[in-house]
Amino acid sequence: MQDAAKFWNKVAGKYAKSPIADMDSYTYTLERTRSYLSTSDHILEVGCGTGSTALLLAENVAKITASDISANMIEIGSEKARQQNISNVKFVEAGLFDSAIEPGGPYDAVLALNLLHLIEDVPAAILQINKMLKPGGVFISKTFCISGAKIPFKIRMMLMILPLMQLVGKAPFVNSLNAGEFEKTISGAGFKIIETGNYPVSNSSRYIVAKKL
């Protein structure tokens, strides 16, 4: 399987042009996320992609550090910020464990939206996020999780063909996370979960908000 940064660099242009699959659910979780932020906050988004969410949240906070391992994603995000005349979003080419995103911390909030299921060592990732937060800071994630035995047919089919797609370089690493175990991991890493749910209810996108103890 190819290097993750190479994969996301290769698909960055297509990713940037792809429409959001479920705009209603995206808008709902965006508003839920806004409700936890303050205009004085400095927040970090890890795995920001082309920066669409960070740029939409820019007016709700003081500053955003938007990071991604893909240089091409960061370039697209930076250009979008220039075009939209948004100056309080700083785009950084860095992974979660890279020192490049540490100088701005500790942060008031860390966002990991559609990211953690793409990381091999999820417990280590959550502990790292905890270290980056101020006491009482908020961790917000939306993560692909499998909840119980009732897995939508579309998801089952995707999981079946995923290994082949990875073999030919058409898909990244994907971690099979169980929603219950994932939440236990977050709680065990020094967080108190204050909101959790699937949005939309029928799919496997688990939205979780947790506060650092």
At position 168, the amino acid (one-letter code) is V
Listed in order, strand segments (DSSP E) in 116-162 are 133-144
CB atoms near residue 88 (< 10 Å):
14
Residue 22 has what pLDDT?
85
pLDDT of residue 1: 38
Specify the pTM.
Answer: 0.88
Q: Are residues 45 and 69 in contact, defined by beta-carbon separation less than 8 angstroms?
A: no
Domain segments of the chain as ranges? 4-212
- List the strands of the sheet with 89-93, edge to edge: 89-93, 63-68, 42-46, 107-113, 133-144, 205-212, 191-198
Helix or strand run (H / E) with residue 196: strand 191-198
At 163 the pLDDT is 55
Whole-number pLDDT of residue 140: 98
Task: Tell me what pLDDT residue 150 has.
Answer: 59
Q: What's the chain's Rg over C-alpha atoms?
A: 16
Cα–Cα nearest to 9, from 94, 67, 71, 51: 71
Residue 165: per-residue pLDDT:
63
Which positions of the chain have pLDDT values less than 50?
A: 1-2, 149
CATH architecture of the domain with range 4-212? 3-Layer(aba) Sandwich (3.40)
CA separation (Å) from 173 to 115, 138, 176? 11, 27, 10
Cβ neighbours, 10 Å, residue 120: 9
Question: What b/e readout covers 19-55, taking b as 16+ CB neighbours within 10 angstroms?
Answer: eeeeeebbeebbebbeebbeeebbbbbbbbbbbbbbb
